[in-house]
Structure 1
Amino acid sequence: MLRTVDSVHGYTIQATDDELGSVKEVYFDDERWGIRYLVVETGSWLSSRKVLISPYSVTHINDEDGIIEVSLTREQVKNSPDIDTHQPISRQLEGDYSQYYGYGNYWTGPYLWGAAGYPEYPMPDAGSVPPMSERPEDLAQRATDEQQDSHLRSSDKVSGYHILGTDEEIGHVKDFIFDDKDWAVRYLLVDTRNWWPGGKKVLLGTKWIERIDWSDSTVQTKLSREQIKNSPEYDEDAPLNRNYETELHQYYGHHGYWD
């Protein structure tokens, strides 16, 4: 199911024994575009400490009650590595976190979640994953490159970033749309009204993004202002279905990520 990050903001994280807190934001990586952690405000039971909850532990999302169920206990979370969410999170800290919980390192394999396309726990057998899509030498280089830089970005901080087209600015980031099965970020929700009075909201596929510049808070895309202006409008009040996605990809001349 496709949903916005904003739609789960404030959802209660329910452990196997008690509540852990509520979702404040998410961390995603800007290379493979996966949501790697939910940032959870724990409240008084843990001195209002913020903790990271990985999609590896999510077992169910209850939209009716605003609850995300996880396969963790309060004691596990209490004793987890203390990660300062106000500072950049290094790969070493992520490694400590993964080792503590027994998760795989998502950055060491060829798929969105390392050894698999989904945050499965325990990790799948080698025979249960799809064929490798990258050459071994490319994977080795990727592993080397990613030892220092985790590419993790805060959804709160990136919200509001300006979107730059091939000619002019085309809007700003309003939200993120992700698939709650594989936790892949599929689209940025773009508000165009800062340059187009009375304009519309549109979706920008993450595969159509060239780079994010953290120094000047911008997102660079390969699209022009005219393309964005004539693209299918996104209605926030309507369910995002495959018909709309197909129309959107066809308009830009791209294959769907589901193909």
Structure 2
Amino acid sequence: MSARAIDIQLVASTELIESCVADLYGTPNVDDQPSPGTTIAVDLEGINLCRDGQVCIVQLKSDTSKTVWLLNVTALGQTAFDHQDSHGRSIRTLLESTNIKKIFYDVRNDADALYNNHDIDMKSVCDLQILELAYWRQSKWMRTIFLNGLYRAVTVYLSPPPEWRRVKDAGRALFSPEEGGSYEVLAKRPLDPQLLQYCAQDVVLLAELEAKLRTGLGSSGTNWNARVDTASEKRVNEAKLSYRVPDG
């Protein structure tokens, strides 16, 4: 699914925060319970994304919705996470809920930034980079000592259309210093339309990527799934250390 085929909502008001929360929870229940089996795909963009940097955008998508929500943290600040709807629900309660599964691809910098800069203590996180590593290691005929980035994982397992690569390249050209861009563009408003597409398209694919990898685990999946959950939690909790754990 391309970013152009979905509904992209840039959230820059408390009213839209409430609409975002309602869509992600998928139910008006007041007891912090989402629709059964709900999974939320999450990604972050920012400047030097870690405890020493700045979160600019948080991308969120429920597997039961066609809408990608781009939380404009640059404009909203802490309100983006803490504004509550009439049921007491917020982006914070969603990210910290043990009842709502969140999927990331390499959660380390995201968790580091959210915990140290916004006091978000995430729970029930699955890191698909760990799941992808498990997919390789459980196969007797496949071995790897490398962690793959999201770009490679998407191209290997999902065979995305040329449009996906075009949007990816256009976005990178705007913010990647190696390609003449600057990460500062992520904090500029209004956000460049090409960055809107860039931010939205990856989070759309995370649920499909997870399904592909879990299917590939086959009959050995139960044991590996537990190990993935443990390793994912460890990555999230590294944000609580007094020093930053480098990627790699």
Q: When the two structures are superposed, what TM-score results if normalisation uses the length of structure 1?
A: 0.26
Instruction: Please identify which structure carries the higher helix content.
Output: 2
Q: When the two structures are superposed, what TM-score results if normalisation uses the length of structure 2?
A: 0.26
Instruction: Please identify which structure carries the higher strand content.
Output: 1
Structure of higher CA gyration radius: 1
